[in-house]
């Protein structure tokens, strides 16, 4: 089996869209190529910047998207003043499809692993060319002719900065911009139009991007719109993004997917995610004071493993969470797999506060996945379900059966999928009990807490494992004594297992004075099949 190109994301300090793009640039992604591919979208009035920065004692790449401010006030939105001669002159317009900035861009980007420049706070690797402010007369998101709905004003931007510190505005529904230190001010937030998810979807679908980039980008936007729609009780297609946040999010979503494509990444995996908000973090926005993590972030992270991080500020943004959901299959969340790591990349957020113990960086590992690692749990058409579980084990030789029985009850209440005891021979010839617990990865901490508090063990072994399951559903069997629920297992659509619910059978057997096995047999033979 050929080795597979893989990217492993380690969000030890959270993740935001621009941090992922920065990490890919740090790996060696060429910014000029990224800009060229982004030019296949009809999105104009922004520029890109990537620069080497220090976060604590670690160097990373900071990626920024600067969106147009009010003409005549070029510094308002974090844009450099046109009189700033540190920006080299433009090389002239690019031929072919109009690019967001209309200039061919070059940047001598160096990989993080070989960076040997001065250890200054920030070394600029790239700045966009000097341009006339009239370039920013319109920021247009339409793939076709401009209309009143698709032309977005370049006046003061509607990004509602919450004072977060990762990066620029990953605007989510109605401008809740759960992201960090965008250069734009609050300004006249309500005076600006929204761009809906439906409009953004049409923009991406009609672009010249590759099918894979389109698919991944659309999935990320769809997940974000669905989570916001649930928050605000509205259809996803109607979820609105303020204009600047929409440009930011498009560049982040599409840029990250382009970067993965250009680097040849075939599979993305991810470790547990730090969300922030520990100790009671809050952010102030248009809708008042809201808790950290953001509502949309927590919605997107449901069912995925998270990790503690001693930071009250927002670490993972809705944009970052949506990208993880879109790029990483649920069973591919877990520890670093058996891979050959070739390069490491670090994407930086804006915050650089020495009082916070965790550097504001996203780490990624790029390399090849060993064929043996894939063979540990091969994908199979005959195993449609499953995913990753954590298996926890402890050997105990000094607990009574009553204590162990109670511990099992608590383990199942804590979210374990299964728990069982196995007799074992322990050291010094003592008989003991091997306690085994199988649980979803996100329930690991709860399971460990029960094992340590309700048993006498001093240690627990745990490992992440793959499992295959039948497709399951519950149907009902109409027996001569009443109705019984039956668990049905299907393999490739065909019923291969039928198990009547014991409690239903027991109640009917007692109520009608018939043998329990007769009720179980009748239910298994007579269950009601759903029409195919």
- Say what the pLDDT of residue 413 is: 93
- The C-alpha atoms of residue 22 and residue 320 are separated, in whole angstroms, by 13
Q: What distances in angstroms separate CA 226 from CA 239, 275, 463, one per listed residue?
A: 8, 20, 33
Residues 6+ positions from 284 with CB-CB distance below 8 Å: 162, 163, 290
> In the beta sheet, which residues pair with residue 121?
none
Q: Model-level pTM?
A: 0.56
Burial class of residue 116 (count of CB atoms within 10 Å of its CB; 0-12, 13-18, 19+):
exposed
Query: Which two three-digit tokens encode residue 46?
Result: 């922004």
* Residues 71/239, Cβ–Cβ less than 8 Å: no
Q: What distances in angstroms separate CA 313 from CA 264, 295, 306, 351, 432, one per listed residue?
A: 34, 14, 16, 10, 46
DSSP-assigned states of every residue in 323-368? HHHHHS-GGGBSS--SEEEEEEEEEE-S---TTSSS-SEEEEEEEE
Asked if the bond preceding 384 is cis, omega within 30° of 0, the reply is no
Fold of the CATH domain 471-526: Ubiquitin-like (UB roll) (3.10.20)
- The C-alpha atoms of residue 443 and residue 191 are separated, in whole angstroms, by 45
- Say what the pLDDT of residue 90 is: 30
- The C-alpha atoms of residue 160 and residue 178 are separated, in whole angstroms, by 8
- Say what the pLDDT of residue 232 is: 78
* Residues 426/432, Cβ–Cβ less than 8 Å: yes
- The C-alpha atoms of residue 5 and residue 520 are separated, in whole angstroms, by 51
- The C-alpha atoms of residue 346 and residue 249 are separated, in whole angstroms, by 20
Residue with tokens 């105990």: 396
- Say what the pLDDT of residue 121 is: 36
- The C-alpha atoms of residue 8 and residue 271 are separated, in whole angstroms, by 8
Domains 385-469 and 471-526 share a fold: no
Query: Which two three-digit tokens encode residue 161?
Result: 């900065």
DSSP-assigned states of every residue in 147-210? -TTTEE--SS------SBSSSS----GGG---SB--S----SGGGS-EEEHHHHHHHHHTSS--
Domain boundaries, the chain: 32-48+65-111+128-261+271-327, 385-469, 471-526
Nearest to 272, CA basis, from 346, 339, 335 = 335
Q: What distances in angstroms separate CA 472 from CA 95, 210, 439, 487, 494, one per listed residue?
A: 56, 36, 18, 7, 11
Sign of CA dihedral 437, 270, 284, 176: negative
- Say what the pLDDT of residue 330 is: 85
How far, rounded to the nearest angstrom, does the alpha carbon of residue 84 sit from its chain's CA centroid?
A: 38
- Say what the pLDDT of residue 12 is: 94
Per-residue pLDDT of the chain (532 residues; tens, 9 = 90+): 567 899 999 999 999 999 999 999 999 999 999 999 999 998 888 899 999 999 988 999 999 998 875 333 333 333 233 333 333 333 332 223 333 332 223 233 333 333 333 333 333 333 333 333 333 233 333 333 333 222 222 222 233 333 334 433 333 344 333 334 333 333 333 344 578 888 899 999 999 999 999 999 999 999 998 888 887 788 877 777 654 467 888 999 999 999 999 999 999 999 999 998 776 777 776 667 788 888 889 899 988 899 888 888 889 999 999 999 999 988 889 888 888 999 999 999 988 887 778 899 999 999 998 654 544 444 333 334 567 888 999 999 999 999 999 999 999 999 999 999 999 998 888 899 999 999 988 888 899 999 999 999 999 999 888 888 888 888 888 899 999 999 888 888 788 888 899 999 999 999 999 999 999 989 888 764 444 4
- Say what the pLDDT of residue 214 is: 94
- Say what the pLDDT of residue 303 is: 84
- The C-alpha atoms of residue 100 and residue 42 are separated, in whole angstroms, by 7
HSE-CB of 190 using CA atoms within 13 angstroms: 2
- Say what the pLDDT of residue 287 is: 64
Residues 6+ positions from 413 with CB-CB distance below 8 Å: none
pLDDT digits (tens, 9 = 90+) for 274-296: 998 776 777 776 667 788 888 88
DSSP-assigned states of every residue in 37-87? HHTTS---SEEEEEEEEEETTEEEEEEEEEE---TT-TTTTSPPPTT-TTS
* Helix pair angle (211-232, 197-205), 10° resolution: 180
- Say what the pLDDT of residue 50 is: 95
Classify domain 385-469 by CATH number: 3.30.70.1380
Question: Phi/psi of residue 128, each to 5°?
Answer: -70, 155
Print burial letters for 261-293: b (CB count within 10 Å at least 16), e (below 16). Answer: ebbebebbbbbbbbbbbbeebbbebbeeebebb
């Amino acid at each position: 089996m050929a080795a597979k190109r893989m990217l492993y994301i380690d969000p030890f300090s959270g993740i935001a869209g621009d941090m992922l793009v920065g990490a890919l640039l740090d790996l060696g992604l060429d910014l000029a190529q990224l800009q060229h591919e982004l030019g296949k979208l009809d999105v104009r009035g922004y520029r890109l910047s990537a620069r080497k920065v220090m976060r604590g004692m670690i160097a990373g790449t900071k990626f920024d998207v600067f969106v147009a401010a009010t003409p005549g006030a070029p510094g308002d939105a974090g844009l450099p003043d046109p009189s700033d001669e540190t920006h080299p002159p433009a090389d002239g317009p690019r031929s072919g499809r109009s690019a967001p900035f209309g200039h061919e861009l070059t940047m001598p980007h160096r990989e993080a692993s070989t960076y040997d420049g001065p250890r200054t706070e920030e070394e600029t690797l790239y700045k966009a060319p000097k341009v006339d402010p009239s370039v920013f007369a319109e920021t247009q998101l339409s793939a076709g002719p401009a209309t009143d709905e698709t032309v977005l004003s370049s006046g003061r931007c509607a990004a509602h900065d919450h004072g977060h510190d990762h990066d620029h505005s990953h605007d989510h529904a109605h401008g809740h911009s759960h992201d960090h230190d965008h250069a734009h001010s609050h300004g006249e937030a309500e005076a600006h139009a929204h761009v809906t998810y439906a409009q953004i979807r049409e923009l991406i679908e009609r672009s010249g991007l590759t099918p894979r980039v389109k698919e991944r980008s659309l999935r990320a936007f769809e997940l974000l719109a669905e989570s916001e729609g649930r928050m605000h009780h509205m259809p996803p297609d109607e979820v609105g993004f303020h204009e600047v946040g929409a440009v930011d999010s498009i560049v982040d979503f599409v840029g990250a997917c382009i970067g993965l494509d250009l680097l040849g990444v075939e599979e993305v995996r991810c470790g547990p995610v730090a969300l922030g908000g520990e100790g009671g973090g809050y952010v102030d926005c248009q809708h008042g004071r809201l808790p950290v993590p953001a509502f949309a972030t927590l919605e997107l992270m449901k069912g995925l493993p998270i990790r503690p991080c001693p930071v009250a500020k927002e670490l993972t943004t809705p944009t970052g969470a949506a990208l993880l959901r879109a790029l990483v299959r649920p069973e591919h969340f877990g520890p670093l797999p058996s891979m050959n790591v070739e390069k490491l990349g670090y994407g930086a957020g804006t915050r650089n506060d020495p009082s916070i113990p965790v550097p504001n960086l996203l780490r990624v590992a790029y390399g090849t996945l060993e064929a043996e690692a894939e063979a540990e749990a091969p994908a199979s058409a005959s195993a449609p379900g499953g995913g990753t579980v954590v298996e926890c084990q402890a050997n105990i030789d000094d607990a009574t059966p009553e204590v162990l029985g109670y511990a099992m009850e608590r383990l199942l209440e804590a979210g374990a999928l299964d728990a069982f005891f196995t007799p074992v021979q322990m050291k010094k010839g003592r008989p003991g009990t091997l306690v085994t617990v199988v649980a979803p990865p996100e329930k690991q901490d709860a399971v460990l807490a029960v094992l340590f508090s309700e048993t006498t063990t001093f240690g627990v072994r745990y490992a992440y494992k793959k499992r295959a399951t039948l497709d399951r559903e519950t149907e009902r069997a109409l027996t001569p004594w009443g109705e019984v629920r039956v668990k049905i297992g299907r393999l490739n659509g065909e019923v291969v297992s039928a198990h009547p619910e014991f409690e239903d059978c027991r109640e009917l057997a007692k109520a009608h004075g018939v043998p329990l096995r007769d009720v179980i047999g009748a239910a298994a033979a007579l269950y009601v099949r759903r029409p195919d």
